């Protein structure tokens, strides 16, 4: 084990220690409770950056059993040594994990710093930081673990920290309900994931009786066995994907993510935009050979992903809560990532995961700054004209909006374009077509958000207007720091087109799957099909932005367009069915309420009745019958010797009599 | 002395029946012990009668009868001791008032 690899356990150890220490003594530290967690994450960030740099530049040693994958592996201990059920715990940093490490630790660090300012007035200050460190521990465990079972444990741990942080203001009923909703909806997916892990375990030992839960070994074994697997690869892959759907909030399990916005905004940025919701994408990417071996499962992944993308984008277009717009936008972008995975563009998915992590983290932290400035108002109808009052927030959010809209040369353009291009070239024209429309919708709703929030006239109460001020630098500096990768990351990783650093980094991880699928062989043609696709997606983004400007105004680069609310009303009246569908989130919450609360409630009530009357009735009936029979039979035991003697005499006479009768025959 | 085995057996049966009736019908513990003696003697009579009328049995019948007499004496001793012990507790010789086991 090299010196570097021995630092890997510290990546999870430090946040865990930070969480425990803060939980133990945080109350006494009061307003300085942030020091231990922030320093822990700073150290983690430093170590993670060094390790990721080593792994991605190829100066790390080759991983055992891999021909061209550089990375670090460390075996910690044998968790469960039970005969043939052996679970080893170890950490692996391969290029995929390294990419995730960069996103998780960088955004984690910046969100920790931002929270110092954002949560400064909160009575639960220390509790917040303890939870944040718990989340960092869980998330790092999730990306580092090399065993399915450890991944599952981390999977549940991030779910727990998400639950705790959504319900951070647990006195607020809506927050408590949202936390519960997130937990329960996630559980649905987790059942699938757990079944998937069981299927993998079963499959690995099917032929030689040697089971393994190591991720790489188990997948290799499953592929080698092919049709000999007791559980078909297609089913296994879909079960694993079910877990990913829950955690990454894909249709039909998407309903928890928008409600999760009840949590504090830094949480929305860190967990519900940049890191935890990416766990599903990571999981599918991690298991990519498995999915590639069952291509029909990838078609389902692509279908669900792109459907979620357009569904969420259509909802985001009419929401008025600034955080909800961003939440639906997150859903939509996650849908893009799954679509990318589905069409076999694994690298593009991870690329988009990274860029999206940064610009969506930026947008959420920016929205937190806006909410702070207008005194905890989240409704965009009572905002407007904030650009001059909070210039740093405005500028950084503008960068983020341009990035997510896909305007070159910002980060979102490169990653999104790669997804669209790959889906077109890999023959998934329908994915490309829907994704193309979603790109336009994304640009539109982001500039609707910008127009309503930052441009035009302030529509809130006058007394608040006078007191609006920019957030403290502990909040704006993270915004600026996030804006830098938002601008540069796409160019740094995506250029030259089709063979940028991200491609060469992740090539070893995804190469095998890409060969299996037979994609990604042809080169990039800037003046051929790829150039045309790029032009098309830039054009649709520009159209989206332009429509946003026309309807909701713009004050940019000397350009001054007034907002036209009367035109908005006119359009929404003309498309009233679509408008209402979008505003009511396509009635999914109502549908689920009907299905699971009303109908499900009735079924549950019926089952309860059955349980009480039939199941319990049987058990209690047996008991009651026994007691009654005992009470009746007790009369036989009179305690009088003569009664017993009479019994003996009668018995004897009966026996002797029957003997005589029978013998006499 | 009659020459017929049946006569002895009938007498033995009558003695046993009287004993059984006494045991079942009398409420006094002492009377019940006496009834038991009666039954035992009824049986003893049957045994010695068999012994006298069936040559193959030889002396065995007499030995069994003696054995029964010895056991009956022991039984009477123990039974009387128990009855006296209960009588001291309950101050009554009537068995239907010995109902402590009923509760």
DSSP A132-198: HHHHHHHHHHHHHB-BHHHHHHHHHHHHHHHHHHHTSSTTSHHHHHHHHHHHHHHHHHHHHHHHHHH
Asked if A101 and A52 count as a contact pair (C-beta separation under 8 A), the reply is: yes
The pLDDT of residue A626 is 94
In this structure, the number of other CB atoms found within 10 A of the CB of residue B92 comes to 14
CA A584 from chain centre, in angstroms, equals: 23
pLDDT at A67: 67
Percent of chain A with pLDDT over 90: 32
Task: Test A638 with B102 for CB contact under 8 angstroms.
Answer: yes
How far is A638 from chain B, CA to nearest CA, in Å? 6
pLDDT of residue B102: 65
CA angle A361, A364, A368 (to 5 degrees): 135
* Partners of residue A93 on adjacent β-strands: A72
- Alpha-carbon distance A534 to A418, whole Å? 9
State the CB neighbour count (10 A cutoff) for residue A338: 30
Q: Which residue has the higher pLDDT, A604 or A516?
A: A604
Helices B29-53, B60-90: inter-axial angle, 10-degree rounding: 180
pLDDT at A504 (0 to 100): 82
Q: How many residues make up chain B in this entry?
A: 103
Please report the pLDDT score of residue A1 as a whole number.
47
Cα A323 from Cα A315, distance rounded (Å)? 13
Q: What is the pLDDT of residues A330-355, one digit of tens each?
A: 999 999 999 999 888 888 899 999 99
Angle between helices A148-166 and A215-225 (to 10 degrees): 120
Q: How far is CA A559 from CA A455, A533, A554, in A?
A: 12, 29, 7
Q: Identify the pLDDT of residue A526.
A: 62
Reported confidence tier of residue A525, pLDDT bands at 50, 70, 90 = low
Residues 6+ apart with CB under 8 A from A66: A94, A508
Query: What is the value of pTM for the model shown?
Result: 0.79
pLDDT band at A563 (very low <50, low <70, confident <90, very high): confident
Band (A523; pLDDT cuts 50, 70, 90):
low
Exposed/middle/buried for A646, CB within 10 Å: 0-12, 13-18, 19+?
middle
Identify whether the C-beta of residue A234 lies closer than 8 Å to the C-beta of residue A227: no
Cβ–Cβ < 8 Å for A223, A290: yes
Judging by DSSP bridges, how do beta strands A554-556 and A559-561 pair with one another? antiparallel
Query: What's the rounded mean pLDDT across residues A182-199?
Result: 92
How confident is the model at residue A534, as a pLDDT? 85
Q: Is the pLDDT of residue A639 over 80?
A: no
Burial label, A496 (beta-carbon count in 10 A; 0-12, 13-18, 19+) = exposed
Looking at residue A662, its pLDDT comes to: 92
Is residue A248 over pLDDT 70?
A: yes
Q: Is the pLDDT of residue B54 over 50?
A: yes
When the pLDDT of each residue in chain A is averaged and rounded to a whole number, the result is: 87
End-to-end CA distance of chain B: 53
Q: How far is B20 from chain A (nearest CA, A)?
A: 8
How does residue B103 score in pLDDT terms, banded at 50, 70 and 90? low
Q: What is the pLDDT of residues A43-71, one digit of tens each?
A: 999 999 988 888 888 777 777 766 678 88
What is the nearest CA distance from B63 to chain A, expressed in angstroms? 26
Contact A639 B100 (CB under 8 A): yes
Residue A524, pLDDT > 70, answer: no
Nearest to A104, CA basis, from A63, A141, A73: A141
Q: Note whether B95 contacts A641, CB cutoff 8 Å.
A: yes
Distance in angstroms (rounded) separating the CA atoms of residues A256 and A246: 9
In B, minimum Cα distance to A644 occurs at B24
Rounded CA separation B23/B2 (Å) = 30
Tokens of A468: 């609006």
User: Which element (helix H / strand E) includes A85?
Assistant: strand A85-93
Burial A341-366 (b: 16+ CB within 10 A, else e): bbbbbbbbbbbbbbbbbbbbbbbbbb
Tens of pLDDT along A82-139? Answer: 777 788 888 988 889 999 999 999 999 999 999 988 888 888 888 899 999 999 999 9
Chain B hits for A639, CB-CB cut-off 8 Å, are 98-102
Find the residue in A nearest to B22 (Cα): A642
Residue A154 confidence class, pLDDT cut points 50, 70, 90: very high
> Chain A: residue nearest B26 by CA?
A642
CB of A581 closer than 8 Å to CB of A587: yes
pLDDT of residue A231 exceeding 60, the answer is yes
Identify from B21, B23, B93 which residue to disrupt to test chain A contact, counting A C-beta atoms within 10 A and taking the largest count: B23
CB A336 within 8 A of CB A471: no
Task: Residue A645: list chain B partners with CB under 8 A.
Answer: 23-24
Range 615-644 of A in CB contact (< 8 A) with B: 637-642
Which H or E element spans position A372? helix A346-373
Q: How confident is the model at residue A521 (pLDDT cuts 50, 70, 90)?
A: low
Q: Tell me: the pLDDT tens digits for B7-34? A: 999 999 999 999 999 988 888 889 999 9
Between CA A576 and CA A516 the distance in angstroms is 47
User: Per the CB < 8 Å rule, is A641 touching B100?
Assistant: no
Asked if residue A181 has pLDDT above 50, the reply is yes
Give the confidence band of A221 by pLDDT, cuts at 50, 70, 90. Answer: confident
Q: How far is A649 from chain B (nearest CA, A)?
A: 8
Per-residue confidence (pLDDT) for residue B92, from 0 to 100: 86
Contacts of A309 (CB under 8 A, 6+ apart): A331, A332, A333, A335, A336, A339, A434, A435, A438
* CB contact burial A194-208 (16+ within 10 A = b; e otherwise): bbbbebbbebbbbee
Asked whether A352 and A418 are in contact (CB, 8 A), the reply is: yes
- At residue A527, the pLDDT reads 63
Tens digits of residue pLDDT in A372-398: 888 888 888 888 888 888 888 999 999
Computed on alpha carbons and rounded to an integer, the radius of gyration of chain B in Å comes to 17
Given pLDDT bands bounded at 50, 70 and 90, which one contains residue A547?
confident
**Chain B: residue whose CA lies nearest to A635:** B102
| Chain CA centroid to CA A555, Å | 35
How far apart CA A152 and CA A159 sit, in angstroms, is 10
Chain A residues with CB-CB distance to B95 below 8 A: 640-642
Say yes or no for a CB contact (<8 Å) between B24 and A649: yes
Rounded to whole angstroms, how far apart are CA atoms A630 and A632? 5
Mean pLDDT for B28-56 is: 91
Residue in B24, B98, B101 closest to A645 by CB: B24
CA distances from A46 to A10, A43, A492 (A): 11, 5, 21
Report the C-alpha gap between A216 and A226 in whole angstroms.
Answer: 16
Calpha distance A639→A647 (Å, rounded)? 13
Q: Are A429 and A531 in contact, with CB atoms under 8 Å apart?
A: no
Run of H or E including A561 = strand A559-561
Spatial CB neighbours of A515, under 8 Å, sequence gap ≥ 6:
none
Q: Decide if A270 contacts A139 (C-beta within 8 A).
A: no
């Amino acid at each position: 084990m090299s010196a570097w690899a021995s630092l890997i356990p510290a990546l999870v150890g430090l946040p865990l220690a930070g969480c425990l220490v803060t939980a133990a003594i945080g109350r006494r530290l009061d307003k300085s409770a942030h020091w231990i967690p922030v320093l822990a994450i700073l150290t983690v960030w430093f170590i993670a950056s060094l390790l990721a740099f080593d792994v991605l530049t190829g100066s790390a040693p080759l991983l055992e059993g891999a021909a061209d994958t550089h990375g670090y592996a460390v075996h910690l201990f044998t968790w469960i040594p039970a005969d043939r059920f052996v679970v080893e715990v170890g950490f692996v940093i391969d290029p995929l994990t390294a990419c995730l490490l960069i996103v998780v630790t960088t955004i984690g660090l910046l969100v920790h710093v931002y929270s110092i300012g954002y949560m400064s007035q909160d009575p639960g200050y220390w509790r917040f930081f303890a939870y944040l460190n718990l989340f960092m521990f869980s998330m790092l465990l999730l990306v580092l673990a090399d065993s399915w079972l450890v991944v599952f444990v981390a999977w549940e741990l991030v779910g727990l920290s998400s639950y705790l942080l959504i319900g951070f203001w647990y006195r607020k009923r809506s927050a408590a309900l949202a936390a519960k909703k997130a937990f329960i909806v996630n559980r649905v997916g987790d059942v699938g994931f757990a079944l998937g892990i069981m299927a993998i375990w079963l499959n690995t030992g099917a032929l030689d009786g040697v089971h393994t839960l190591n991720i790489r070994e188990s997948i290799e074994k499953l592929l080698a066995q092919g049709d000999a697997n007791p559980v078909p690869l297609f089913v296994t892959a879909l079960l694993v994907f079910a877990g990913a759907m829950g955690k990454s909030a894909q249709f039909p399990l998407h309903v928890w993510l928008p409600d999760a916005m009840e949590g504090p905004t830094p949480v929305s940025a860190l967990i519900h935009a940049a890191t935890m919701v990416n766990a599903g994408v990571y999981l599918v990417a991690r298991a990519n050979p498995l999915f590639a071996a069952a291509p029909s499962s990838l078609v389902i992944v692509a279908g669900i992903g792109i459907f979620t993308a357009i569904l969420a984008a259509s909802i985001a277009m009419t929401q008025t809560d600034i955080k909800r717009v961003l939440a639906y936008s997150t859903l939509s972008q996650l849908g893009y990532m799954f679509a990318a995975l589905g069409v076999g563009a694994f690298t593009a998915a991870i690329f988009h995961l990274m860029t999206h992590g940064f610009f969506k983290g930026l947008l959420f932290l920016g929205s937190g700054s806006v909410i702070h400035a207008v005194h905890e108002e989240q409704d965009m109808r009572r905002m407007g004209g904030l650009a001059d009052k909070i210039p740093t927030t405005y500028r950084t959010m503008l960068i983020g909006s341009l990035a997510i809209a896909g305007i070159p040369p910002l980060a979102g353009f490169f990653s999104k374009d790669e997804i669209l291009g790959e889906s077109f070239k890999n023959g998934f024209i329908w994915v490309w077509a829907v994704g193309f429309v979603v790109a336009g919708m994304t640009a539109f709703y982001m500039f609707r958000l910008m127009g309503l929030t930052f441009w035009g006239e302030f529509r809130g109460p006058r007394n608040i207007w006078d007191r609006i001020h920019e957030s403290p630098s502990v909040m704006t500096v993270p915004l600026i720091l996030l804006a830098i990768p938002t601008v540069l990351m796409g160019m740094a990783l995506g250029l030259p087109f089709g063979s940028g650093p991200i491609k060469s980094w992740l090539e070893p991880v995804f190469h095998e799957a890409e060969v299996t699928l037979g994609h990604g062989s042809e080169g990039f043609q800037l003046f051929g099909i790829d150039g045309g696709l790029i032009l098309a997606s830039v054009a649709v983004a520009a159209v989206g932005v332009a429509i946003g400007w026309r309807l909701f105004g713009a004050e940019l680069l000397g350009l001054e367009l007034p907002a036209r609310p009367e035109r908005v009303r006119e359009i929404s009246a003309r498309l009233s069915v679509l408008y209402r569908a979008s505003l009511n989130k396509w009635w999914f919450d109502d549908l689920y309420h009907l299905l699971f609360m009303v109908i499900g409630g009735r079924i549950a009530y019926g089952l309860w009745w059955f349980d009480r009357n039939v199941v319990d009735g049987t058990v209690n009936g047996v008991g009651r019958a026994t007691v009654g029979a005992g009470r009746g039979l007790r009369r036989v035991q009179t305690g009088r010797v003569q009664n017993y003697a009479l019994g003996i005499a009668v018995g004897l006479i009966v026996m002797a009599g029957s003997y005589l009768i029978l013998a006499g025959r | 002395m009659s020459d017929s085995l049946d006569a002895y057996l009938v007498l033995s049966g009558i003695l046993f029946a009287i004993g059984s009736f006494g045991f079942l019908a009398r409420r006094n513990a002492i009377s019940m012990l006496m009834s038991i003696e009666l039954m035992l003697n009824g049986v003893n009579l049957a045994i010695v009668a068999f012994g006298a009328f069936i040559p193959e049995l030889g002396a065995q019948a007499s030995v069994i009868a003696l054995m029964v007499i010895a056991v009956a004496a022991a039984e009477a001793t123990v039974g009387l001791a128990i009855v006296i012990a209960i009588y001291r507790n309950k101050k009554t010789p009537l068995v239907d008032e010995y109902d402590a086991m009923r509760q």
